[in-house]
Amino acid sequence: MVAAFWRLSSRLLAVRSRLSFRPARLAVAILGLYAVMTYLVTMRVHEIGVRMALGATARDVTRLAMSQALRLTIVGVVIGLGLAGFGFVRRAAAVSSR
Q: What is the DSSP string of the chain?
A: -HHHHHHHHHHHHHHHHHHHTHHHHHHHHHHHHHHHHHHHHHHTHHHHHHHHHTT--HHHHHHHHHHHHHHHHHHHHHHHHHHHHHHHHHHHHHHHT-
Q: What is the pLDDT of residues 9-65, one digit of tens each?
A: 777 777 777 777 788 888 998 899 889 889 988 999 999 999 999 999 999 999 998
For residue 51, give its domain range: 25-96
pLDDT of residue 95 exceeding 90, the answer is no
Higher-scoring residue by pLDDT: 78, 15: 78
**Is 67 among the domain residues?**
yes
**Is 86 among the domain residues?**
yes
Cβ–Cβ under 8 Å, residues 36 and 65: no
| pLDDT at residue 25, rounded to an integer | 84
The residues, ordered by sequence, that sit 6+ positions from 64 with a Cβ below 8 Å of its Cβ are 48, 51
Higher-scoring residue by pLDDT: 88, 98: 88
User: How many structural domains is the chain composed of?
Assistant: 1
**Is 6 among the domain residues?**
no
pLDDT of residue 8 exceeding 70, the answer is no
**Is 18 among the domain residues?**
no
| pLDDT at residue 91, rounded to an integer | 82
pTM beyond 0.85? no
